[in-house]
Amino acid sequence: MQFDLDLQSIQEMRDAVQKAKEAQQKYLAYSQEQVDKIVKRVAEAAAAKSLELARMAVEETGMGVVEHKKMKNDVGSLSVYESIKNEKTVGIIKEDRTKKIMEVAYPFGVIAGIIPTTNPTSSAIFKALIALKTRNGIVFSPHPRAVKCSVAALKICLDAAVQAGAPEGIIGWISKPTMAATTELMHHRDIDLILATGGKDLVRAAYSSGKPAYGVGPGNVPVYIEKTANIQKAVKMIVESKTFDYGTICATEQAIVVDRNVKEIAVREFKNNGAYFLNEQEKAQLEKVISPFPGKLNPAIVGQSAVKIAELAGILVPTDTTILIAEETRIGKDVPFSIEKLSPIFPIFTAESYENAKELCVKILNLGGMGHSLSLHTHDDKVAREFAIEMPVSRLMVNTLSSIGAVGATTELMPSLTLGCGSFGGNITSDNLSARHLINIKRMAYGTKEVSVPKPSNQSIAAKSDSYSIEEIVNQVLSQATLSGPVDPKVISEMVNELLKNIK
């Protein structure tokens, strides 16, 4: 029964959190050298099993490409390790002796890690590494459709960590995940931070939990081919990026915007790179497969090849087809080609002018991609700078593959499998998340500036007197005075009133 499965899952989660908390309390005493040794061992162990984990992920989820998932595992392990290995995360991390201020790092405690089905092993490795680097414990809730490969990755990380000296239980997981257990994990009293990667509902739940949370959601990424671009190179990059792991990275290009005066050349190059352009009837057939209900993506197409998706729509395409493209002029939830598709499918929009191109890009971003990423191909640095200033995104990839450029594989951005969308996307950060996001910093500051605190003035005293009513003052005078005969309160009131006028 589902009820019994929920109970088992919740109990497993509670046990894992308890063990992680106990382990994290021990881990607090570890030095920077001990922590760094553990992190290095885990990264190496995960990288050694990179291909095996990639095969498991494709087999279990039915999504993506083995070779590409291996690359993502390598980024999540070795690239991430290289980016954080010299970072100070224990004890005193910064000191300015001139200003007499010192910064000390301390961990959040126990983290709840939510893993998406699109990146089930690379995200697990990545989050485990940055948690270990910062002396946090972490408990994972894998996606039910990817639980075997995610748990396999986590076991590799935990075993390597323990062999390197980490306490048992520092990494935990739910092996039979349910929505009830995941929800309770995010609300558990001993969870101190949530690291959630997934759909809008999951991210919303993380931010509504009452816990500090890093939640990152979808990215409906436009790619603009500007008139000065090297069209041949740009198109090749776009096709390679869109077909990388069959579009399962959230930073993958989702819609093409091309200047009219270079469109014909671009279309020819797309065809040279295996793109299949749909006619109106084929487009209508594919629309029903992309989104059976307005605004809802069909999960059956996520991470699938162009040929397989065409087959689902009853469209016959060449066996070497790389991507499916259709002409589009509309953008909206009821326009299937304009939503995030997480698969090798593109709409192509024609920009009549530079301003029109910017308008199209913003409209596409407004449809589920606000704050995430934008891809641009241009040789005009002014255009690139204007886009960087004006576009509501957290990262702008120029003349590179957006999918893997955003995660740091082809750019100098911080290697990460969790990409913040900033306030544009309702996130607390716009960064590529890394170890530094999982520590708190306390500061010790010596006094360095002499100040003279002024004494209250007569005006302040008078102002305070005004705050009392005449009646109150009279009563205070009468209660404290030693009088020899009867006193008329009205006379006293008049005397006090006159006195206050003189003070003013």
Contact 303, 118 (CB under 8 A): yes
Secondary structure letter of residue 139 according to DSSP: E
| Residues belonging to the chain | 504
Distance CA 144, CA 115 (A): 10
Distance CA 415, CA 176 (A): 30
Contact 338, 326 (CB under 8 A): no
Distance CA 308, CA 303 (A): 10
Neighbours of 454 (CB within 10 A): 7
Within 8 A by CB and 6+ apart from 319, the residues are: 307
Distance CA 371, CA 420 (A): 8
Distance CA 327, CA 243 (A): 19
Contact 322, 305 (CB under 8 A): no
Strand order, beta sheet including 439-445: 91-96, 101-107, 439-445
Run of H or E including 389: helix 381-390
CA 220 to chain centre: 14
Distance CA 346, CA 331 (A): 13
250 is catalytic: yes
Active-site position among 149, 250, 361, 421: 250
* N-to-C CA span, the chain: 82
Q: What angle do CA 478, 480, 484 make, to 5 degrees?
A: 65
Catalytic residue ranges:
250
